[in-house]
Structures are given as structure tokens and as C-alpha cells.
Amino acid sequence: MEDALSVPPLFSGNFAFFFDLDGTLADIQSHPDEVFIPADVLARLARLGEINDGALALISGRSITELEQLIKPYRFPLAGVHGAERRDINGQTERVTLPENIIAPLERELRQGVLSLDGVEIEAKGMAFALHYRQAPQHEEAVYDLATKMVAHFPQLAMQPGKCVVELKPSGIHKGAAIEAFLQSPPFTDKTPVFVGDDLTDEHGFKAVNRLGGVSIKVGAGETEAKWRLEGVNEVYQWLESITDYQQQKQRALTNRRDGYESLSRSI
């Protein structure tokens, strides 16, 4: 919906928060290794997670190993490679992999296919492959043609377009499924999901959250299934600060009210 509302709501209650990383919590850089999340933003995320009983996770196309480096010194539940790997609040990790007998021939065909596409980079993630063409946008059509050919040749694969990237991953893996999986176990159980993302890879997440009656927030312009919109990464930071402060104030008010009731009961 192109006419998504411009300002997400402030709310308190029984919510679980899910955030994409690149383009949402961090500005997109010319190379993925240059991406970082500011320290004060990480601290805000940690505080928001605490207020909501730990129900906050990052869901990204990056691997869990990469995510761990970007969020140090904090530890959050994580879903990497669009949910192909998922680590819960207790540190238990689940992974979906590609069959061993297709990984080598798939990588071989991909590397052969990009030989003439200067500037296109292949990122091997173990259970998925990403074709990055940010440095060579003129090869977009050729990259899509190559990815389409691979999906036709290897039916276990699904193609996931993104911003200047096309990924080949196990079929059935997407961010919506990752969010739904998190919601099946504590501390996410029985909470209303909130998902913030910026890319085509996040649309599955928006659809899942909408279906569950949650809050879906698109970062940036473009058609989307999300119900709300933030203009860019800086606006995400502002909203994150506002929602954390708002929930913190509500929590303090509730604590003060409870303490007042207990004091009154003791005096009676």
C-alpha cells in the first residue's frame, strides 16, 4: 500500500519487536563490511527488549555470525539468512541447510555465470548464496537471469530479490516464517508482533505481522504491505527512542501505582 500512514503509533502492552538490520537499524553502505549500528541505538534496543521481557529479535539476510559482531556487546535472539538459521533467547540455534549434493555444483555454476559480470560479487552463506550488484547496477538483468536459471535447475531453491542483491536460499524460508517461529516460544508467546524493515525481503514479514494483527512498519519509499511508514534510518532511531521512552514511562507509572496500592493495603 503506497499510502501507508506516515507515523507509527506509540503503544505499551504485550508486544514483541522484530527489526531488520541493513537499511533499518543501520545505513546501507557501499560494502556490507562497512555497516555499523551506533552504540546508543544498540543500548536503546537492549532497553526496549528489557521492558518487553526480552521479546526483541533481529531478522536479517546476514548470517548469525555477522549479526553477533554488529550487536556486540549485546545478545538478542537472532534470525539470520532470512530465517534459515535462528537463535532463541536461550542461545539454542536451529538451521535449515541446502542438500550437500547441490551446494558445490550450484556455487560452481554461479561463479561461472558471473565471470563476465564485472563488479558482481557472490556471497556464500553455507545454506544460501547472494549475488550482489551494488557496484555494477548495469548487470541487474543478467543477475536476475542467472538466478532464475539456477532456481529452474535446482528446485530446492527459492529466489529472493533485495536492494541490489538477489539471493538463492532454501525454498520456504523467509522472514515471515521466522517471525511466526519466534512467536511459538517464550518470551514471544502470546505477544502482538511489531516488525520494522525496509526491503523486498521484509514483505513476507509484513504480511505475517498483518495477518496476526500486529504493527508493520516500512522504512523508506515504495509499494509495501506494511501499514505504517518511516522515512529513513534516522527516523527509525527517533521512533525507537520515542517508543522506548513511552513504554518506560508507562512501566514506571504502573510500578508506582502498584507500590501505592501495596502501601495503602499495609496501612489498612
Task: Give the catalytic positions in this structure.
Answer: 20
Q: Is the dihedral of CA 92, 190, 54, 79 positive or negative?
A: positive
d(CA 164, CA 172) in angstroms, rounded, equals 22
d(CA 184, CA 8) in angstroms, rounded, equals 25
d(CA 107, CA 144) in angstroms, rounded, equals 16
For 240, list phi and psi in degrees, rounded to 5. Answer: -60, -40
Q: What is the strand order of the sheet 165-170 is part of?
A: 121-124, 129-132, 165-170, 157-162
> Which are the contacts of 98, defined by CB distance < 8 A and separation ≥ 6?
106, 127, 128, 156, 157, 170
